[in-house]
Amino acid sequence: MILYSWNVNGFRAVLNKGYWEWFRQVDADVVGLQEVKIQQDQLAEESCKAPGYQDYWNCCQVKKGYSGVACYTRNHPLSVALDLPLAPFQDEGRVIQLEFPKFYYFNVYFPNGQMSQARLDYKLGFYDAFLTYAQNLRQTKPIVVCGDFNTAHKEIDLKNPQANAATSGFLPIERAWMDKFIDSGYVDTFRMFNDQPGQYTWWTYRFGARSRNAGWRIDYFFVSRELVPAVRRAWIEPEVMGSDHCPVGLELEVERP
């Protein structure tokens, strides 16, 4: 199975920047999108459909043009769930969970903590709620998690670690949660194959950051440890434009549903 994840920073915006050409070219089994910024009443548009794929959307309920995630899958999921089971972490359209025969798949747009201390606290609470939920499901079958984690884990994962040490997205407390997540049995699939610096998935639109490759790696595919033997490839596609993020991919050697 080929899986992709991409924070598109606005689904309708990326449609005018070659999205469907990219989608057809990658020919993926599952594509998870984050920050789609679209409302439920706008989903009837034909532009949201892909022939041969089922699509699932979780739109933000509390603020227009904000957050939201979507999944396109050509494989029929056994079940579909939206959001986390705790009320404080619902309504912002941040999670789609698909169940396949061999694993649970999560597409998640984790919160950004830069706006205020309250949002940082919300982000950290969301992190813990997600890990608890995933660990419970993991007792049944393995886990695949993709999406924008809004945290660069290690110094190698951003261009200027010292300058950003006090910035949400690289705070010690956020990085400590990433350590906790990994210690709980989750593996950063990209780092299984590539241990080089300069591998980023997000670049600010300011200061010509992308042309200078002054970025952050905050978009990931993680798998629970028991699924590691099935991982064949993991990669990023920094050459794909259309958003301030680029797509990331994962190939698993598992039987298609």
Q: Catalytic residue positions?
A: 109, 148, 245
The Cα 103–Cα 180 span in angstroms is 21
Q: Is 76 annotated as a binding residue?
A: no
Q: Give me the phi and psi of 187, to 5 degrees please.
A: -120, 130
What single DSSP character describes residue 120? H
The Cα 92–Cα 69 span in angstroms is 10
Q: Is 183 annotated as a binding residue?
A: no
Q: Is 55 annotated as a binding residue?
A: no
Q: List all residues 6 or more positions away from 44 whose beta carbon is below 8 Å from its beta carbon.
A: none
What tokens appear for 42 in the block? 């706008």
Q: Is 179 annotated as a binding residue?
A: no
Q: Is 91 annotated as a binding residue?
A: no
The Cα 83–Cα 142 span in angstroms is 19
Asked whether 58 and 68 are in contact (CB, 8 A), the reply is yes
Q: Which residue has the tokens 């990669």?
A: 235
Q: Is 128 annotated as a binding residue?
A: no
Amino acid identity of residue 90, one-letter, is: Q
Binding residues for Mg(2+): 7, 35, 148, 150, 244-245
